[in-house]
Amino acid sequence: MDVHLLHLAVRWLHVLAMAVALGGAALVFVLAARARQIGVPAVALLQLAASYEWVFWLAAGTLAMTGIGNLGAFGAGLPSPQTGWGTTLVVKLSVVVLLVMLSLPRTLAVARLAFAAPSHVADVLRTLYAFTSATFALVVAIAIWLAHG
């Protein structure tokens, strides 16, 4: 197999996993924020959030594996952390680690919401997924800067 084709496939899989993770978080956020206005039942919102959590962790694993693959593909050609680009990469990786660490409590909160009052569900989900969406957007912005910087 052509190694360049493999590297391209790994990069595209990385971008696809990020799009799924960010898009799913944004979808849950928007629906939770507008749940009362558009008549989304709390049970349906909670089911969507629970489904997203499974997708999130699959995407997070894919992002970790393909991210490591991308770093390996560039190997010694990567700028050192002392450069502007290298520092930005360290910042991006730090934000990613923070996102993953704070996602475990979010997943547990979604599981716990199954026992909450329905009126409370949309407010909690809106807050949880606002943070997740914003953090993913920050990671994407940093990644774009790295790709073009």
Mean pLDDT computed over 5-21: 93
Give the closest residue to 115 by CA, choosing from 128, 124, 104. 124
The one-letter code for the residue type at 113 is: L
Q: What is the pLDDT of residue 117?
A: 65
Segment 83-139, tens digit of pLDDT? 998 899 999 999 999 999 999 999 999 998 877 766 788 889 999 999 999 999 999
What is the pTM (predicted TM-score) of this model? Answer: 0.87
Q: Read off the tokens for 1.
A: 């197999």
Sequence-separated (6 or more) residues with CB below 8 Å from residue 61: none
Tens of pLDDT along 56-90?
Answer: 999 999 999 999 988 887 777 888 889 998 899 99
The two three-digit tokens of residue 148, written as one number: 């073009």
pLDDT of residue 62: 97
**Rounded to whole angstroms, how far apart are CA atoms 122 and 110?**
11
